[in-house]
Structures are given as structure tokens and as C-alpha cells.
Structure 1
Amino acid sequence: MCQFLEEDLKTPLPRRLYFRSPEKIRMIVEKVGNFADLQNRQSLDYGLEIGRGGVWLQLTQEQYNRLKVPR
């Protein structure tokens, strides 16, 4: 399960995403994340392994707007 927060890091956006595979999460992070070094990638892998963690995503306005709409 992936939950998204507003910039204040306290207010959750209404939309949550559920994934069956860690690979899908890795694909999304590769697309909109900021992973310039090996340490960040290893941190993501560790978070996926233990089932928790967080990453910073650089979303377009359209992506952000879609997360603001509950499903």
C-alpha cells in the first residue's frame, strides 16, 4: 500500500495505491523519484523488504491532481 502526503508531511491525500509486486513500486519510483545514488536505491530495497519506508516523488501537476481525487 502506498499513501501520499501533502508537502507538510502530515496531511494524507485521499488516494492510496495498492501493489502486488515490489517491482511495480520500483518502476514508479524510477519514473518520478529522485534516485541519483546507490544508497538511495538500497534504502528503497530495504523499505520494500520490511514493508515500510518513504520516498520523495517529483509529480507533475496532473499526477498530483489525480492523487487528490478519492477512488
Structure 2
Amino acid sequence: MHELSITQSLLDITLEQVRLHGASKVSRIHVVAGAMHNLVDDSLRFCFEVVSKGTPAEGAELSVQTVPARAQ
């Protein structure tokens, strides 16, 4: 389940931003991912709920926007 490690990294980044900006609470996190991200959105949300307990991000809404894949 790589969603767990991804959500832990997402939380780490979020908490760093909380610290830098002196925020006390996170209400929403918006993630933009390519169509080929191979992640299960519900698993991401569940894992985020678990790893964010006891942090300023606890209870925050995690939204995932999927954008079309692009080739260069």
C-alpha cells in the first residue's frame, strides 16, 4: 500500500507549511495528480485520516483532482 507512504510525505510537507506560516489548523488539502497516478483516492483519504490524527491537519478535507496525462 504505497498510499500510506505518500500520505505521510504529504502530511510532512503540510506540517512544514503550517510551521512556516504560523497556522494552527489545516482545513483542506488539494492534490493534483496525473491520470496515470495509479492511486486509490479512497485509500489516500483513509491513510491521511490515520496519519494526521493529533496534528493540525486532523479533520482536514483531502481532495484529489485527476488531470489528463501528457507526453512530451
Tell me the TM-score normalised to structure 2 length: 0.30
Q: Point out the structure with the larger strand share.
A: 2
Greater Rg by CA: 2
Structure ranking higher on relative contact order (CA contacts 8 Å, 6+ apart): 2
Tell me the TM-score normalised to structure 1 length: 0.31
